[in-house]
Amino acid sequence: MLDPVIFSQEIISLARNRRFTVPSLQTQGILTADTLIWIENNQKHILELKDVVGVSYLPESSLAGFVVYAYPLVRDGILWKKRRRVLKKYRFACPDNETRSQWIKAINNTLRGLPVDSIYPFLPRHLHVLLNPASGKKKARKILQQVRSLWENSQIQITVTETSSAGEAEKFIQTLVLDKIDGLVIIGGDGTIYEVINGIMKRPDWETAITIPIGIIGAGTGNGLCKTILDLAGEPYDPIGAAFLIAKGKTRPLDLAVVQQQRCRYYSLLSLSWGFISDVDIESDRLRYLGSWKNTIYAILRILSLRTYKGRLF
């Protein structure tokens, strides 16, 4: 059973070939809360809005057209059917510019969870991207280039700040003007996330600052939090899957743990470790060039030369 129709207007699907755009027969397009439906070549097509990130004017055509950007999940591979999201563009033309504007407004409002006739104007989101180029295998810059077009298709504007040393993310976030942005994105590992959270909690306005949405694209040796979030959302564990989740803009609360040690206070997202595990995590950075193997190799070295740890439980 289909959802109730919330918008319907004339629409023409534009089939693409290698040389030019070919319009199919004009039909009545239907928009529901979850789908966009149209007829093409006597076949009914249904596009699920859960895969759609944005809609915009069709720039390369003299027609009153628009394009819908979707990233449906596909499975490829012979032995292992790996899931990934791939870009698909759906091009449409309308009888006139007014109908096109109505379609774009209706789709944008539906994607935002608003009534199709909402008077609130559509404003592109502005995200501040904090990128750690030294994380993991040093692929953070490459990852940004992979996901940039997805955000452009989502009409998301970004400002990028690169860190250059350990602890810089924590200091930077303490002075960042947060009321000028709609969210933060971290391209790095769990260590970068740790710095950002602790920097936020040191701000005078931390109670407000901690509520800002934070997106994560794993680029470190350890990406435990990113992997957990993507698994819970049913998304593939890759940069496009993470960028897609950020583009959709759905958030969920996350608990913080606090550790008080004399005059120092630390905030944690994943776990608290002490002794052997902490030594491996911190000191293995000298083997960063080994990538994901650094923790394993350094753990073996520490086992061969065990230390004694003394502590007291209260």
Catalogue the active-site residues.
190
173 φ/ψ sector (left φ>0, alpha ψ -120 to 50, else beta): alpha
Cα distance between the two ends of the chain: 60
Helix ranges (DSSP H) in the chain: 97-111, 140-153, 168-175, 190-201, 206-209, 224-233, 239-248, 276-283, 294-304
Where in 41-182 does DSSP place strands (E)? 43-48, 52-57, 64-70, 73-76, 82-85, 88-94, 125-131, 156-162
Q: Give the residue among 160, 173, 29 at the shortest CA–CA distance from 90.
A: 29
Structure tokens at 44: 């009914």
Place of tokens 């930077």: 172
Sign of the Cα pseudo-torsion (177, 182, 185, 190, in order): positive
- Is there a contact between 100 and 58 (Cβ–Cβ < 8 Å)? no
Q: Which residues of 115-136 are buried (b: 16+ CB within 10 A; e: fewer)?
A: ebeeeeebeebebbbbbbbbbb
3-state secondary structure of 64: strand
Q: What is the residue-wise DSSP string for 257-302? A: EEEEETTEEEEESS----THHHHHHHHGGGGGGGGGGHHHHHHHHH
β-pairing verdict for 125-131 and 183-188: parallel
